[in-house]
Amino acid sequence: MAPGKRGKAKGGQAPAAVASAAATTGGEFPGCLRLMPPSTVAISVHAKPGSKVATITEIGEEAVGVQIDAPARDGEANAALVDFISSVLGVKKREVSIGSGSKSREKVVLVQDVTLGSVFEALKKACNSS
Q: Which amino acid is at 73?
A: R
> How confident is the model at residue 128, as a pLDDT?
87
> How confident is the model at residue 7, as a pLDDT?
53
The parts of the chain modelled with pLDDT lower than 50 are 10-25
> How confident is the model at residue 23, as a pLDDT?
43
> How confident is the model at residue 3, as a pLDDT?
58
> How confident is the model at residue 120, as a pLDDT?
95
**Residues 35, 40, 41, 42: is their CA dihedral positive or negative?**
negative
Q: Hey, is 85 helix, strand or coil?
A: helix
C-beta neighbour count of 126 within 10 angstroms? 20
**Element spanning 99, H or E:** strand 96-100
> How confident is the model at residue 6, as a pLDDT?
58
C-beta neighbour count of 24 within 10 angstroms? 16
Q: Flag whether the pTM goes above 0.85.
A: no
The answer to whether 125 and 59 are in contact (CB under 8 A) is: no
